[in-house]
């Protein structure tokens, strides 16, 4: 750490981005993406963090309104008062407060980005990426008709996506999966229920075994870890957990209980990219395949995810898609799909920055929180 390197302040910005089309999951329909962006400014560099909390407490308890308050009232003051510029010290400094992992992760991401931009190292290098590009996968929402779904999936396959994930819920599962298999044959196909089923649905879900899916993601409730273990015994389709895995320890527990044989890793869900790396390591140690999930990120989080997806244990294609999957215009240079892959950025830190004009156009509110003047003088 450079001697005398201090934090000058952190900007908190709320942005609202229009989506190219409504994104429907078992927990609701999204037409815009609300994002909290953090810009951490130190003496040596500035770094960007993206909070993946949703607009409402539907995927997780944490959501934008609560995350904004928590960041402003607790987390940012703690980081500024201690002038933390070392990313490894962010999580320990915030550990006394429970939950709010997405907010904590966003703050760590901003400090990590600032540090890496100062040292010239990329996210990929810092996390231990072993690939220059990663296979692109896409998450496809629930639609009004199966015909519409078939057309949409066909479009993604034409773009080069190597793996298709279908969102499912009771009433939208067997038929859409059957029709996609019939239409497109032996593509890499998986489903995500976002906790929409109960163990009582086990016999129904077993009918999915006929479709040779890569996995079924989070069929049961976030806290239903033992029920997932029971379901996993009854299904041939591998069970993958998303919502339930909130830390490396939770991953170790779920694996030991037999609740999953595959893990979806999202940095925000586990409190940051450093913990995401530890989740990866725990899974690799257990021989459990992992893949990189997505949270409809802007080009900032999307670039960090491409780096995370390039770790050695990421043996399944992730929800790593082009900016165009969700956005007509991204905040950064668009992340693109080329030859079925997304490139891992090589520049310092995230390797991308927001376009100032585009950022202003989508900004709802912004606040500069300066470091304590007494400390800064």
Binding site for ligand OSB (CB under 6 A): 59, 139, 192, 194, 242, 293-296, 319, 321
Q: 22 vs 120, which CB is nearer to ligand OSB?
A: 22
Residue nearer to ligand OSB on the CB measure, 189 or 296:
296
> CB count, 10 Å around CB of 367?
12
Pick one of ligand OSB, Mg ion, none as the site partner of residue 330 (Cβ within 5 to 8 A by kind). none
- CB-wise, 34 or 217, nearer to Mg ion? 217
- Closest C-alpha among 122, 127, 124, 79 to residue 104: 79
d(CA 301, CA 321): 12
Give min distance, CB of 248 to Mg ion, in A.
18
Q: Which does 136 bind (CB under 5 to 8 A by kind): ligand OSB, Mg ion, none?
A: none
Question: Quick one: what does residue 173 bind among Mg ion, ligand OSB, none, with the CB cut-off 5 to 8 Å set by partner type?
Answer: none
Closest approach of ligand OSB to the CB of residue 296, in Å: 4
167 is catalytic: yes
Smallest separation, CB 320 to ligand OSB (Å):
8
Q: Which of 33, 104, 165, 266 is catalytic?
A: 266
CA–CA gap between residue 42 and residue 2 (Å, rounded): 11
Task: Locate 149 and state its tokens.
Answer: 């779904």
Least separation in angstroms between residue 298's CB and ligand OSB is: 11
Say how far residue 118 (Cα) sits from the centre of its chain: 25
Give the other-Cβ count within 10 Å of 266's Cβ: 25
d(CA 95, CA 78): 11
CB of 10 to ligand OSB, least distance (A): 25
Between 48 and 59, CB nearer to ligand OSB: 59
From the list ligand OSB, Mg ion, none, partner contacted by residue 321 (C-beta under 5 to 8 A by kind): ligand OSB
Is 266 in the active site? Answer: yes
Nearest-CB residue to Mg ion? Answer: 242
- Closer by beta carbon to Mg ion, 124 or else 294: 294
The item of ligand OSB, Mg ion, none sharing an interface with residue 295, based on CB under 5 to 8 Å by kind, is: ligand OSB
Say how far apart CA 359 and CA 351 lie, in whole Å: 17
In angstroms, the CA 316 to CA 292 distance is 8
**Rounded Cα distance, 197 and 228, in Å:** 11
**Contacting residues toward Mg ion, per CB under 5 A:** 192, 217, 242
Q: Which of 33, 165, 167, 207 is catalytic?
A: 167
User: What's the min distance (Å) between Cβ of 163 and ligand OSB?
Assistant: 11
Q: Which helix H or strand E contains 227, and what residues bound it?
A: helix 225-234
* Choice between 108 and 319, CB closer to ligand OSB: 319
Transcribe 158-204 into DSSP letters. Answer: HHT-SEEEEE-BTTBSHHHHHHHHHHH-S-EEEEE-TT---GGGHHH
Q: Are residues 348 and 116 in contact, defined by beta-carbon separation less than 8 angstroms? A: yes
Active site residues: 167, 266
């Amino acid at each position: 750490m450079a001697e005398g390197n201090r934090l000058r302040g952190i900007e908190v910005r709320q942005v609202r981005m229009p989506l190219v089309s409504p994104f429907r999951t078992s927990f609701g329909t999204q037409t815009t993406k609300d994002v909290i962006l953090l810009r951490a400014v130190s003496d040596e560099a500035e770094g960007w963090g993206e909070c993946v909390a949703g607009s409402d407490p539907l995927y997780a308890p944490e959501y934008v309104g609560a995350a904004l308050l928590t960041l402003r009232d607790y987390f940012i003051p703690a980081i500024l008062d201690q002038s933390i510029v070392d990313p490894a010290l962010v999580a320990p400094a915030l550990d006394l407060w429970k939950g709010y992992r997405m907010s904590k992760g966003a703050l760590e991401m901003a400090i990590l980005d600032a540090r890496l931009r100062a040292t010239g190292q990329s996210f990929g290098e810092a996390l231990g990426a072993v690939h220059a590009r990663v296979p692109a996968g896409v998450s496809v929402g629930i639609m009004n008709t199966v015909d519409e779904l078939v057309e949409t999936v066909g479009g993604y396959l034409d773009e080069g996506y190597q793996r298709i994930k279908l969102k499912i819920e009771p009433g939208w599962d067997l038929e859409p999966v059957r029709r996609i298999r019939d239409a497109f044959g032996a593509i890499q196909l998986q489903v995500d229920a976002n906790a929409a089923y109960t163990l009582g649905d086990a016999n129904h879900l077993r009918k999915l075994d006929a479709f040779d899916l890569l996995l079924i993601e989070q069929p049961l409730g976030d806290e239903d870890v033992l029920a997932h273990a029971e379901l996993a015994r009854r299904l041939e389709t591998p069970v993958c957990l998303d919502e339930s895995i909130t830390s490396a320890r939770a991953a170790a527990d779920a694996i030991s209980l037999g609740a999953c044989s595959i893990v979806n890793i999202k940095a925000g869900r586990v409190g940051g990219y450093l913990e995401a790396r530890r989740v990866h390591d725990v899974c690799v140690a257990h021989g459990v395949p992992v893949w990189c999930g997505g949270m409809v990120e802007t080009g900032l989080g999307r670039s960090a995810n491409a780096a995370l997806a390039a770790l050695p244990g990421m043996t399944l294609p992730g929800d790593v898609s082009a900016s165009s999957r969700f956005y007509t215009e991204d905040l950064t240079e668009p992340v693109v799909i080329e030859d079925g892959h997304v490139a891992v950025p090589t520049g310092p830190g995230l390797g991308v920055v927001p376009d100032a004009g585009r950022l202003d156009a989508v900004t709802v509110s912004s606040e500069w929180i300066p470091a304590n003047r007494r400390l800064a003088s």
